[in-house]
Structures are given as C-alpha cells and as structure tokens.
Amino acid sequence: MILSIILISLITAGGFALTYLISDEETLLWRIASGCVIGSAVFGTAGFALAAIFGLTPAVVIASLVIAFIPAVIFRSDRYRKVFALDRSRAKGKLQGANATKALRFAYYAFFFFLFLFFFDRAMIVTESGISTGGSNNLGDLPFHLGAIYSFLENPNFPPDNPNFAGVKFTYPFLADLMTAMFMKLGVGIREAKYFQNLVWALSLLVIVEGIAFKFVRDRLAAKLAPFLLFFSGGLGFIWFFGDQMVQARGFFDFLWNLPKDYTIGDDFRWGNSLTTLFLTQRSLLLGMPLTLFAIGVLWKAFSRKNTDAPQQLSGLGMVKPVLPYVLSGALAGTLALIHVHSLAVLFVLGVFLLIVRRDLWREWIAFAVGVSIVALPLLAWSMSGSATQTSDFVGFHFGWDKREDNFLWFWLKNTGLVFPLLAAGVYLVWTSRKTEAVEPDPSDKPKKRTKELREEEENRLKADPSLLLFYIPFAFLFVISNVLKLAPWEWDNIKILIYWYVLSIPFIALAVSWAWRQGGVWKPAVALMIVALTMSGGLDVWRTVSRQIDYRVFDPDAITVSDRIRASTRPRSVFLNAPTYNSAVVLSGRSSLMRYPGHLGSHGIDYKEREEEVKAIYRGGPGATELLRKHGVTHVLISPEERNTLVPNEQYFAQFPVVAESGPYRVYKVQ
C-alpha cells in the first residue's frame, strides 16, 4: 500500500500543479481531487505513448511518472507559491478550532471515505478458495478487466491485440486498466493497485461533484446533498423491498442482512445504482467522469460570465494567457479517447451547443476544441484504424431506452422515483432566481438585529445563475436522444450517456430539497421523506455489497494455478482456444484467446458469430479442427470443466498433443 500511495502522490502532484494554470479560485481540496484525475490521465496517456514505442517496461513507467510530475515545477515561481500558500492557509483555517460545523464537515468526508474503503474492497476478493467478487453486477466485468490488465503486463506486442478476440486491435478504452498494469510493473499487486486507484478516483469524484453542484446553484446544502444523490441513486425499489420483507415474514433487520436481490436493477428495474452498476464494474467511467466534470466546470466558468465581463480585445502573445486554461483543459479532456469515449461524446455535444449560443466566447470554445483535437484526434485515429468494431451497430432507432414491456412514463417514474418532480421544482427555482435581489438593510434597525436578519436572508436567498438553465439544455437533449436511439450495440449501454444527464440534473434536485428544508415547519419531515425516497433503493444495493452479503466466485484455485503454469510454459504471444466464457483461466495468464465471452464482444460491436461456430468445430476434433487451428494460429487448447460442460470436447482427438500445463481438471495442450 505504501508504494501505491507514493505513486498516486507523485501523479497527483503534477495534476495539482496544472489546476493553478487552469483556475485561480478553487479550494485546496478541489485542487487535490482534480489533480488526482488529471495526473492519472497524463500518467496513463504518457505510458501508452511510450509503451507503443519501447514496450511496457519499468523504465517506461518511471518515465511516465516523471512526465506526470513535471508540471509541479511551476511552484518554482513566486506567484504560484504565494497562491498555494494562500490556499493552504485557508484550508488550515477550516481545520483549526472545534465547532459543530467543522465536526459535521469532518464526519461528512469520513463517511464517504469509509464507505468507499469498504465498498471497493469487495471488487476483487482473493482467498484460498480462489478469486471472487462482492459486486452483484461485477461477475463478468472483473475478469474482463483482469484480462486487459494481464494482457498489458505480459504481452510484449504493445499495444496488444484484443485478448478477448485474437488477431484484432484492442480498441476498448483501456487507460484505467493500463494504469493498473503500470503500477504492477513497479511491484504493486493487482488487487492493491485496482483497489487503491478505485478508492482515490471515487474520492476525487465525490469532491468534484460537490464542487460543481456548488458552482451551479451557489447553495452549500445542495452541494453537500449532491454526492448522496449520485452514489445512492435509485428509484422506487424500496417499495418492493418492503413488500419482499413482508412476504418472507422475517424480521426487518434479519431481512436487511440477507437481501435476496438488488433493488435498482434486475427484472423490475433497469436504472441501477451508480456505485454497484457503474463505478464498481466500469473503471473507465470511474476515472472518466471526474475528468469530464472537471472540464464541464471550466466551460461553465466561461459560460456564466456575463457579456459585460468579456475580456478586452487582445492581440499577439496577449491572446495566449486568457485562452491557456481552455487549451489545457481541452487537452486533458482529449485523453478521454482512451479513458471513456462516451464521456468525450458528451463534451462534444456540449461544445457544439456552447459555440452556437455564446458566440461572443468563441475564443474560449475554439481554444478548448483545439486542445481536445490535439490529443483526441490521433488517439481516435489509431483506435479506429483496423478495428474489428462495426460502428454501424452503435446507432439505431430504439425508443424508451431499456423499458422493455413497461409504459414509458411508468418506466421512468419507477426507475427514478422523485427525480423528475424535484428536477422540475429545481428548474423553477432557478428560473425565479433571476428576480431575486439582495435585501438592503434598513438604516433604522439596530446593528446587531440587522446583522442577524441579513445573515438569515443571505442564507435563504436563491443565488443560482439563471443562465444555468441554458447550460443544462444539451444534457436534457442527451436524455431525449438516449430515449430515441441506441448509442451502443447493447441498448442498456446508453446509461453511459444517461448518467451525465442525471449528474447534471442533481444540482437542480438538490436545490429543490435544500430550499424546502429552509422553509422549516412541516417541510422538514417532508424533506426527510424525499431524501429517503431518493436514496433508499440505492442504499440497499450499496449496503448489500458493503455488508459482504455477496461472494460470487470467478476463478477457483485450480484456474489460478494453471494460469501461473501457462505463463511459465508458453510464449507471451501464444493464442489459446477456450470456451467462449468470461472466466476462462486463460484470462489470468495474459495470453490472448481466440474468443471469449460473446456478451462483451457483442457490446463492443464485434461480429463473433462465425468464429463462435469455428470454436465449437475445433472442440469436436477431426481433420476440420486441425485446419481451423492452423487458420487462426492457435497454439494451445484449454480443456477444463467449462469446456466439458458447454462444448463436450473430443478429448481423444486432443490426446495426440503434449500437455504443457495442468492442475486438477484443467489441462492445456500445445497444438502448434
């Protein structure tokens, strides 16, 4: 863990420094959180570029660390040292002294720290019984990411071929997994590397979500509520929970410790909880979302600037400084091409919209676009050339997202609960805030009384900028388009776009809740019920994971042992034949498979049907099998319980080949 802390600290230091080149007025905590994801993006992208030339070696990882750390040299400048000293002094002031406000602030962050600490501990569980996961939706995603990580670690053909479909380019946005492999190159264990990265990215997302909510609505209570609404997102599943509890006639707490299912996703629900269905399973989004929100925050800062505040006309070098933050933030956003492409698409939609509605800020928008293009276009050109992904599968008419047989309105009400009513209330509050003006003090009032009343008035006055409604339009558009078209081969993957609609809706929802709380009286118990309705279903799913109620085994001990023996007895570029499943022992070896899980391949737009039939034909044996083995360059064949159960292999045919690795019922034949 110490080595992981050192590596993350070095990565964060460079990103932390870059925040001073992008924004002058931010809290120290925001800079640390943003610095973590910025540094991670720089570190991973530098590692990809260098490894493509020299291979992934410890020297390449160290060089990437140096590149990520280089921006920290700006602190040699007196100007930046003074700004940093001021930020540190302000942060120190918030910590010194003891009062209820500071105690609550500490408890707030401590709660999320321990939540993430215990939650991500369940992502990958290693015991004497093998490798398992405590995430109900992570059964297939864990081995997918392990396969990518070990492929980067073991395969000298860098960037490697797709380990799930040998012979084609690996174009899945893999930077998060590459970072894990880079940590492992320096001696960090795979579970530790994944766990620590997930933990710090989640904490960074927490701070950035809180920060962007405050920037949008200028309401501290709403900003504090925002992360709860994100991390405990869900719909009306808690109603089903109470129904199940009554049917089973078990005590409430007994049932709570033995939940039979998730209450945000399954047969009845499709929205899911962000932690259990997205951030635990999709590491790319866990890194990509805070980076995207960072970029959105930079764009909002310019957008919310009034026309009268526009900078004066400049020429020559004088034009560079005002647009430098946008070029830099755009370049950082460009790394999303290898982190999370759907996030990059969200920024594209937002950028086009901003260029249309605020043409007076064309310099800022063009500067941002230039920054994105410099980084993203080469990466996209590389990933798209020679790819097996069929882009035509990504777009098609599909009404209602994943509503299945449900009525459209009922589907969204059931899956999101009070989200839409409170979103409408928040939009209305922001709309009416344009009429709010500061209250002038009455000169006849006594100073003490006036100060108290003004303070209360200031706390209750809506401060949200009405231009937020215009800024929100592209995210509302994303919701509409995601309900009309499928933007991925598997329609549920539209969630990668829909989640941004939800995150940018959260400030409005939180503002409505905050406003109701400040009305006092009967509003306060009503607000308590609102918060329960918004977070209980998601909280149940998160609790099911944190309380260790789930333990799905992915790899048994023999699979782990045989994978070690495969690494010891086969060449890194070997191609394996195995059953098309997500948890083949080959995954842990770093070797490529002719074909793995069809669900992953189909969701990535790869046409696997012909190869799937050829895999079945090879396992049947005979002369045709020999020819297919040569055709695809298969060097080794695995026969394990999975192949015996699903493919009924002709073991007499494979007995002619030497066995090069074996453990229990697992046997590896060398066929070429």
Q: What per-residue confidence (pLDDT) applies to 49?
A: 95
Q: What per-residue confidence (pLDDT) applies to 219?
A: 95
- Strand order across the beta sheet in which 636-639 lies: 592-593, 575-577, 636-639, 666-670, 659-663
3-state secondary structure of 505: helix
Q: What per-residue confidence (pLDDT) applies to 155?
A: 82
Angstrom distance (rounded) from CA 228 to CA 486: 29
In one-letter notation, the amino acid at residue 28 is: L
Angstrom distance (rounded) from CA 75 to CA 62: 22
Q: What per-residue confidence (pLDDT) applies to 439?
A: 43
Residue ranges, the chain, pLDDT below 70: 307-320, 391-393, 434-461
> E strands of 154-252, at which residues?
none
Q: What per-residue confidence (pLDDT) applies to 310?
A: 47
> Global pTM?
0.94
Provide the CB-side half-sphere exposure for 556 (13 A, CA): 8
The angle formed by the CA atoms of residues 426, 429 and 435, to the nearest 5 degrees, is 160
Q: What per-residue confidence (pLDDT) applies to 182?
A: 97
Question: Exposed (0-12), middle (13-18) or buried (19+): which is 574, by Cβ within 10 Å?
Answer: buried
Q: What per-residue confidence (pLDDT) applies to 385?
A: 80
Copy the structure tokens of residue 585.
């022992």
Q: What per-residue confidence (pLDDT) applies to 101?
A: 87
3-state secondary structure of 232: coil
Q: 310 near 362, Cβ under 8 Å?
A: no
